[in-house]
């Protein structure tokens, strides 16, 4: 019998997603449930979004209360939660000024515009970007222009001009691209879509030095790796290498559509001015309420401390899988953003499909990596359950 939810979607939506044949109905903590009542252990968290897990009652109550009061105004007016959310986000991110968007792609789009506007205001004549191979920054025109996957860019060329790609963790390849036209270098401290590739401290420090010596802005995309996932609120904080502009989304709203780009006071003073940028829904009362409440819960419950406590156990169990199965070649990543790389003899898409059948949700990255990005409330018992399911799949 065909599920009516799936049939309606297949007949009416533009086919840009290859969805698994399940229709989800509700969630609780670490688990999702479909319309047939089947349970799924979630190690995907909606692409690293639902950090606090599903059906977080405190967040739900705050959002319900805000809906009954006010959930949209235009940005011609102030409202109660916007300034407070911005203040809290700047505090935990270490930045000075923030602009709210609706998504990570929009956040990166705004960051690129801010970098170009900064160069324009400073009258430097700079406009080029250096981005990284295997990077992913979104699917809007600017964001996809700096995304380091040819298959994402090619169908939409010509894209935004002036983008060059360096090798991730190869400082010499970055230096070779720097010229008098370079306005910014954009990178993810931990690449997600590109295969769970962690920047080295030397690479992050080297990028910062190159930027400082050449009057170039450093942009860190923390849309996926930010908000506690790597064991600090934002990944750059562990490196001690502060960007000029950083982008965020996903977990800052725990599933409410909200993103942001933030910058230092210096960049803010010389970049975007009234009329340069906008977002009708950006910073709306509902989204800002989510950001405020998520930050409050993160700090009160010490979610970052919990990540640092449980992540070594995930690392240990994934390392056991690498040792046990010849088809698994490597564990990658850090904190609660990790991956397993597979040999070509083991099609990752098949592993992913079997995982769904076994009631386990994970995410593929590139052609040979499976991502493990669970809600940050994950416990050792959930990791054990995931490993048991994964071991069963790989033993077949």
Q: Which two tokens stand for residue 139?
A: 């699917």
- Domains, the chain, ordered by start: 58-300 (3.40.640.10), 303-373 (3.90.1150.10)
The distance between the two most distant Cα atoms of the chain, rounded to a whole number of Å, is 64
Q: Rounded to an integer, what distance in angstroms lies between the CA atom of residue 251 and that of residue 207?
A: 26
For the segment 115-169, what is each residue's pLDDT rounded down to a tens digit? 999 999 999 999 999 999 999 999 999 999 999 999 999 999 999 999 999 999 9
What are the φ and ψ backbone dihedral angles of 389, each rounded to 5 degrees? -65, -45
Question: Whose CA is closest to 340, among 306, 304, 314?
Answer: 314
**pLDDT, position 314:** 98
**pLDDT, position 1:** 59
Angle between helices 80-93 and 285-300 (to 10 degrees): 40
**pLDDT, position 346:** 85
Number of neighbours of residue 25 by Cβ within 10 angstroms: 13
Q: Rounded to an integer, what distance in angstroms lies between the CA atom of residue 285 and that of residue 115?
A: 28
For the segment 156-206, what is each residue's pLDDT rounded down to a tens digit? 999 999 999 999 999 999 999 999 999 999 999 999 999 999 999 999 999
Instruction: Lay out the sheet containing 259-263: strands in order across.
Output: 97-101, 259-263, 245-248, 217-221, 182-187, 128-132, 163-166
Assign 370 to helix, strand or coil: strand
Cβ neighbourhood burial of 81 (10 Å; 0-12, 13-18, 19+): buried
Helix (H), strand (E) at residue 172 = helix 171-175
pTM of the predicted model, to two decimals?
A: 0.96
Is beta strand 163-166 parallel, antiparallel or unpaired with respect to 128-132? parallel
For 84-204, where are the E strands, in sequence order? 97-101, 128-132, 163-166, 182-187, 190-191, 197-198
**pLDDT, position 380:** 98
**pLDDT, position 375:** 98
283: alpha, beta or left? (left if phi > 0; alpha if psi -120 to 50): left
Using 70 as the pLDDT threshold, list the residues of the chain that sit under it: 1-2
Report how far apart, in Å, the C-alpha atoms of 131 and of each of 66, 122, 144, 263 are: 39, 22, 11, 18
Q: Which residues of 300-309 are buried (b: 16+ CB within 10 A; e: fewer)?
A: eeebbebbbe
Question: Whose CA is closest to 99, among 261, 264, 223, 295?
Answer: 261
Q: Are 59 and 32 in contact (CB under 8 A)?
A: no
Q: Rounded to an integer, what distance in angstroms lies between the CA atom of residue 23 and that of residue 7?
A: 10
**pLDDT, position 88:** 98
Q: Rounded to an integer, what distance in angstroms lies between the CA atom of residue 119 and that of residue 219?
A: 14
Chain position carrying tokens 């059906």: 55
């Amino acid at each position: 019998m065909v599920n009516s939810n799936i049939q309606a979607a297949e007949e009416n939506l533009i086919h840009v997603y290859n969805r698994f044949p399940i229709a989800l109905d509700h969630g609780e903590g670490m688990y999702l449930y479909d319309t047939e009542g089947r349970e799924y252990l979630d190690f995907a968290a909606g692409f690293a979004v639902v950090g606090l897990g599903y059906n977080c009652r405190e967040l739900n109550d705050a959002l319900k209360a805000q809906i009954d009061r006010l959930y949209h105004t235009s940005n011609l007016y102030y409202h109660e939660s916007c300034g407070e959310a911005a203040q809290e986000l700047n505090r935990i991110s270490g930045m000075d000024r923030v602009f709210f968007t609706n998504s990570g792609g929009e956040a990166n789009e705004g960051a690129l515009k801010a970098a170009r506007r900064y160069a324009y205001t400073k009258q430097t004549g700079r406009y080029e970007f250096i981005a990284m191979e295997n990077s992913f920054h979104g699917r809007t025109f600017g964001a996809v222009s700096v995304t380091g996957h040819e298959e994402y860019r090619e169908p939409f060329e010509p894209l935004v001009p002036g983008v060059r790609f360096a090798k991730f963790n190869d400082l010499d390849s970055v230096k070779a691209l720097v010229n008098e036209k370079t306005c910014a270098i954009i990178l993810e401290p931990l690449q997600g879509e590109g295969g769970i590739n962690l920047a080295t401290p030397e690479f992050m420090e080297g990028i910062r030095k190159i930027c400082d010596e050449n009057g170039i802005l450093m942009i860190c995309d923390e849309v996926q790796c930010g908000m506690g996932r790597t064991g600090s609120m934002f990944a750059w904080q562990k490196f001690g290498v502060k960007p000029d502009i950083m982008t965020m989304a996903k977990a800052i709203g725990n599933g409410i559509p909200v993103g942001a780009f933030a910058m230092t006071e210096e960049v803010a003073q010389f970049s975007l001015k009234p009329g340069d940028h906008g977002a009708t829904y950006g910073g709306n009362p509902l989204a800002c309420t989510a950001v405020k409440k998520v930050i409050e819960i993160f700090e009160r419950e010490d979610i970052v401390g919990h990540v640092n406590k449980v992540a070594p156990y995930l690392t240990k169990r994934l390392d056991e899988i690498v040792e046990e199965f010849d088809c698994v070649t490597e564990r990658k990543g850090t904190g609660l953003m990790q991956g397993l790389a597979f040999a070509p003899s083991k099609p990752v898409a098949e592993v992913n499909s079997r995982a769904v059948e076994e009631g386990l949700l994970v995410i593929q990255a590139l052609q040979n990596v499976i991502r493990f990005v669970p809600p940050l409330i994950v416990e050792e018992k959930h990791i054990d359950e995931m490993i048991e399911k994964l071991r069963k799949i790989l033993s077949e």
